[in-house]
Every structure is written in C-alpha cells, then in structure tokens.
C-alpha cells in the first residue's frame, strides 16, 4: 500500500492556481523527491499533505488518513520539519528534543537520535547559538523524534555549505534505513539525483514527469559524452560501428563520442582491442538538469 496518495490535487491562491491537478503515490521505504523551480507549487503540495492547507479539489491520504479530517493520528504517522522561526531562540537542543518527544505516543530515544546526528555536545546549547548546519540537523531530529512512518523534509539543505549538505544527505539515508519513508522537497538537482528513489518533477503547478532519476534522464534522451586523446590514429568507423555510439567528432587531437547505454565500457573495450589508450579521458553523464530542459524547454534555475 502507498504511504502517501495524492490524487488530482488542486490549490488556488485567489486567481492563481499554485497546484494544478497533481497526482502521485509514495511507496513505503522510499525517498521520494518533489523537484521543481522556485514557485512551482512544491511547498503548497506538501503543506496540503501535512494538513496545513486546504485543497480546493482532489484527495490526499497519508497512511489512509485524510489530512483535512482532523484525525490526531496524523501527527503520529507524519513527521514534519519545523520552520526555524517556530523554535524559541533560547530553547536548548536537549530541551527541544525532550519537549517534542513528549508530544508523541511512541517517540524514539532522543539522546540516541542526537548522537546519530552529531549533536550530543550541543545538548545544552541554545538554538540561536547553533550553526546553520546544526540547526538543520536539529530540525530533522525534531521531524523524526516521534518515530513517524513518513518524514516530510522541505528544502533541507538550502543555505548549507557543500560539506554540511553532503553530511545531511548521509543522514537522510540513515533515517530511511531506520524504516522511515522520506518525502523530500528540493530545487537542487544534485540533491534529488543523489538521494531520491523516485522524483516527481513539478513545473508551474503541474506534474511534468514521475520516474527514477535514471529514468528521467533516460527519458529526456540525454546523451553521455566521452572525450579523450587517442594514443594512436583512430579510425572513426571503429567506434561508429558500436550500437552504443551515436556520433564521433574530432576537435584537434581530441575525439568526442556521444551515445547511450554502457557507452564508456563499449568505447574503452573497442579502443583496447585496437591497442589504443584514451588519454585525458573525461565522461560527462547527462544530468537531471538536462532532463528538466528536455521536459520543460528551459533550465530549472533561471
């Protein structure tokens, strides 16, 4: 059974339709990404799932519960990340964890949780004195302390430096490995590609595509590119004969090969067979950025 089911969700703000007939289902145990540019309707969608906004049409179920139905069970199955302004500045990490775990019927051991989140030495530190990365980790801890079945994490690495961002990604995987399904809202392609099992690509309130990261890239017809300098003269036909190869171009002493599938293996095997070593070999994989451009006709970041 799907943990979250969204069916033809519609949400308007006055004359503006922010979410326009979006449908998807999140399966148990997956990291499901909602990806799209700023203003696409991502937060509105998850706020409807969290019961914070009332849809104008469509249905939503979270573990079978209608978020609009006032069922208090929702707070036990769905853990939502706080907006930082919701936490009093002077509350310490330990106080916040103890307070939040008291809200739940079956919380996890919060001391163990903050140890996993490397916040143990900050237990007596006030929220306002935490670094951006530490505040993010605390807000993730608060989202999962209630031992929810699904955690909603919205733009969780915005404003973090690259190392803190990678640490946060590792953390999300750890939380998923504990059995929590993750609904992740992001506008970072790299984050979605690295973390998500499946991605709903949203643009201007509509679902553009729903697939695995690899499936989205494949669907967009994104081609891999390989560039190298052959150590000996190379007959282009050696490579164009390969089914994986779409084109072979030369630029000075460089050869540029585009194609699909297991392109790198096919090309390097063919070169080895001809005793040619590819020097300065570079591989450009197509990315979700390429997929977004192919699916919407423009880049995700203007």
The footprint of ligand ADP (CB under 6 A) covers: 13, 16, 18, 36, 38-44
Cα(165)–Cα(9) distance, integer angstroms: 31
Task: Name the minimum Å distance from CB 134 to ligand ADP.
Answer: 24
Please report how close the Cβ of residue 157 comes to ligand ADP at its closest, in angstroms: 15
Closer Cβ to ligand ADP, 142 or 300, answer by number: 300
What the block records as the tokens of 114 is 């903050």
Nearest distance, CB of residue 87 and ligand ADP, angstroms: 21
Q: Which is nearer to ligand ADP, 199 or 266 (CB)?
A: 199
45 or 224: whose CB is closer to ligand ADP?
Answer: 45
Nearer to ligand ADP, 52 or 279 (CB): 52
CA angle 68, 69, 72 (to 5 degrees): 105
H helix or E strand, kind and range, residue 139: helix 132-144
CB distance 47 to 92 below 8 Å: no
Tell me the torsion sign for CA atoms 39, 292, 59, 75. negative
CA distances for 9 relative to 39, 49, 233, angstroms: 16, 10, 59
**Nearest CB to ligand ADP, comparing residues 74 and 185:** 185
> What are the φ and ψ backbone dihedral angles of 33, each rounded to 5 degrees?
-100, 140
- Nearest one of 62, 21, 58 to 207, comparing CA atoms: 21
């Amino acid at each position: 059974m799907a943990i979250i089911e969204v069916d033809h969700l519609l949400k308007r703000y006055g004359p503006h339709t922010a979410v326009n007939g979006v449908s998807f289902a999140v399966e148990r145990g997956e990291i499901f990404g909602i990806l799209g540019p700023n203003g696409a309707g991502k937060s509105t969608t998850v706020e409807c799932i969290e019961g914070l906004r009332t849809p104008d049409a469509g249905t939503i179920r979270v573990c079978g519960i209608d978020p609009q139905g006032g069922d208090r069970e929702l707070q036990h199955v769905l853990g939502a990340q706080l907006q930082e302004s919701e936490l009093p500045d002077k509350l310490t990490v330990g106080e916040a964890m103890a307070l939040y775990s008291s809200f739940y019927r079956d919380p996890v051991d919060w001391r163990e949780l903050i140890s996993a989140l490397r916040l143990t030495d900050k237990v007596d530190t006030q929220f306002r004195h935490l670094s951006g990365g530490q505040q993010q980790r605390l807000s993730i801890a608060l989202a999962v302390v209630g031992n929810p079945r699904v955690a909603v994490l919205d733009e969780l690495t915005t404003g973090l430096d690259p190392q803190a961002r990678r640490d946060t990604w590792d953390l999300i995987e750890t939380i998923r490995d504990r059995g929590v399904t993750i609904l992740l809202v992001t506008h970072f392609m790299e984050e979605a590609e690295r973390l998500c099992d499946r991605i709903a690509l949203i643009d201007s309130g509509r679902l553009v595509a729903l697939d695995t990261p690899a499936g989205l890239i494949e669907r967009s017809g994104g081609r891999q590119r390989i560039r190298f300098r052959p150590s000996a003269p190379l007959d282009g036909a050696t490579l164009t004969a390969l089914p994986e190869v779409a084109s072979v171009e030369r630029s000075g002493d460089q050869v540029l090969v585009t194609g699909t599938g297991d392109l790198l293996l096919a090309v390097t095997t063919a070169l080895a067979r001809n005793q040619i070593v590819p020097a300065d070999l570079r591989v450009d994989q197509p990315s979700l950025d390429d997929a977004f451009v192919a699916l919407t006709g423009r880049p995700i970041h203007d």
